């Protein structure tokens, strides 16, 4: 048969057997006797009046039942036709690579004109592409995860990856959390480093760079800050503390010290791990009363409690001291489990053992500048 204009596209119509349904004015849901995919696939006549899909009726029980918005009256005449196949085009079961237009102005569509590939176009632009086992967000498009939504990987951690030039969380934070296993950041491109950046006010700051061209050396922008209170590590190869400070050295006696005045009295230290480096400078104006063996007291840390870690001091300047003989030299050490430098003398030729200096060997003008480094408890 000939037609003027576009030919009529054919489809399949089936009158559904609903003879087993009973309409009593109260029931709203009835059997269709088959499974239907969409309310729009039904033509429903209620007492000769065509019903509107989605308004006057909907589907229930996975498409095997119809539910009316108003219960059909007792004795109502219900006539239902199922439509399948190509009626006007959109219900085609096989598009055979043709574009499926989804919106009124024709710029949003789905196309499968390339074998095993689905292209999704929105507002005239290709945004997404689906190929076997791969969903692609195309250039110029954005995949947004709304607040409260979750991306879940049900496979192994190694099987879940994101390949992108830029991952942005907008105004939110990015949290990487695992309840087991490791979190691995892997820069696999040639000559690529791992860089940690942030902002200070409105200024971008590169805080840390892990330089792969230098065997993974850390390049820190400003410095490494340790906690005010050391968290000690039992591992000798772990740096757990760095500290710089001052202290007030006292040129005193093991038995007591009183009535001293100083022209100069200052000390500073640098502590790296469990080793401390000390500089102590004292210059008396009045020695007051000093009892017992001479010491530089007031060190900021106690030495390690082992004789294997005794340390000797270097005196860069000594003034107005009395030695036992002309052939002695002043030398000092820190004993184990001690926070004082014990000052003594020994003969240059080594014939006499080291002995501590006493109060009689200093005067009101005695000075000592000493440096020492030792292991701390």
Mean pLDDT to the nearest integer, 222-231: 80
More confident residue, 326 or 122: 122
* Separation between Cα atoms, residue 85 and residue 90, nearest integer Å: 9
pLDDT score of 92: 45
For the entire predicted model, the pTM comes to 0.51
Residue 284: CB atoms within 10 Å: 23
**What is residue 245's three-state secondary structure?**
strand
Among the listed ranges 22-36, 189-203, 244-258, 360-374, which one has the minimum average pLDDT value?
189-203
Mean pLDDT to the nearest integer, 81-102: 64
Position 191 confidence tier, pLDDT thresholds 50, 70, 90:
confident
Domain boundaries, the chain: 11-85, 100-137, 193-222, 245-375
Among the listed ranges 278-287, 289-298, 320-329, which one has the minimum average pLDDT value?
320-329
Cα distances (Å, whole numbers) of residue 234 to 78, 134, 231, 237, 239? 85, 49, 10, 9, 10
pLDDT score of 10: 52
Dihedral, CA of residue 206, residue 208, residue 211 and residue 215, to nearest 10? 170
pLDDT score of 209: 86
Among the listed ranges 55-64, 197-206, 335-344, which one has the minimum average pLDDT value?
197-206
pLDDT score of 282: 94
| pLDDT above 90 (res 328) | no
More confident residue, 270 or 166: 270
pLDDT score of 353: 75
More confident residue, 348 or 10: 348
* Separation between Cα atoms, residue 331 and residue 283, nearest integer Å: 18
Among the listed ranges 86-90, 257-261, 276-280, 343-347, which one has the minimum average pLDDT value?
86-90
| pLDDT above 60 (res 164) | no
pLDDT score of 165: 58
Position 376 confidence tier, pLDDT thresholds 50, 70, 90:
very high
* Separation between Cα atoms, residue 273 and residue 144, nearest integer Å: 47
With contact defined as beta carbons under 8 Å apart, do 358 and 295 qualify? no
Among the listed ranges 9-23, 142-156, 232-246, 262-276, which one has the minimum average pLDDT value?
142-156
Condensed to tens digits (0 to 9), the pLDDT of residues 1-53 reads 555 555 555 557 788 888 888 899 999 999 998 888 788 889 999 998 999 99
């Amino acid at each position: 048969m000939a037609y003027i204009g576009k030919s009529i596209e054919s489809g399949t119509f089936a009158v559904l057997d609903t003879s087993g349904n009973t309409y009593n004015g109260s029931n709203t849901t009835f059997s269709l006797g088959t499974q239907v995919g969409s309310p729009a696939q039904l033509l429903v006549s209620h007492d000769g009046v065509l019903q509107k899909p989605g308004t006057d009726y909907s589907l229930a029980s996975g498409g095997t039942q119809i539910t009316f918005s108003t219960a059909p009256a007792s004795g109502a005449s219900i006539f239902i036709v199922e439509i399948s196949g190509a009626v006007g085009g959109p219900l085609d079961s096989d598009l055979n690579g043709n574009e499926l237009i989804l919106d009124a102005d024709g710029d949003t569509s789905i196309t499968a004109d390339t074998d095993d590939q689905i292209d999704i176009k929105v507002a005239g632009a290709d945004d997404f592409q689906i190929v076997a086992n791969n969903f692609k967000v195309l250039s110029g498009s954005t995949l947004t995860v709304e607040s409260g939504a979750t991306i879940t990987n049900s496979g192994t951690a190694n099987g879940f990856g994101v390949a992108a030039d830029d991952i942005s969380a907008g105004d939110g934070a990015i949290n990487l959390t695992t309840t087991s296993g490791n979190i691995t950041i892997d820069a696999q491109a040639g000559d690529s480093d791992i860089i940690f950046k942030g902002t200070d006010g409105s200024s971008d700051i590169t805080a840390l760079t892990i330089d792969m061209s230098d065997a993974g050396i850390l390049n820190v922008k400003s410095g490494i800050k340790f906690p005010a209170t050391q968290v000690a590590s039992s591992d000798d190869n772990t740096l757990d503390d760095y500290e710089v400070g001052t202290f007030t050295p006292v040129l005193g006696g093991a038995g007591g010290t009183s009535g001293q005045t100083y022209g100069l009295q200052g000390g500073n230290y640098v502590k790296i791990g469990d080793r401390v480096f000390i500089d102590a400078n004292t210059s008396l104006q009045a020695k007051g009363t000093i009892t017992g063996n001479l010491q530089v007291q007031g060190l900021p840390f106690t030495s390690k409690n082992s004789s294997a870690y005794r340390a000797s001091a270097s005196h860069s300047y000594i003034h107005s001291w009395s030695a036992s003989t002309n052939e002695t030299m002043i030398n000092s050490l820190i004993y184990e489990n001690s926070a004082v430098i014990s000052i003594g003398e020994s003969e240059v030729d080594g014939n006499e053992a080291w002995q501590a200096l006493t109060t009689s060997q200093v005067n009101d003008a005695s000075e000592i500048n000493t440096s020492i480094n030792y292991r701390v408890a």
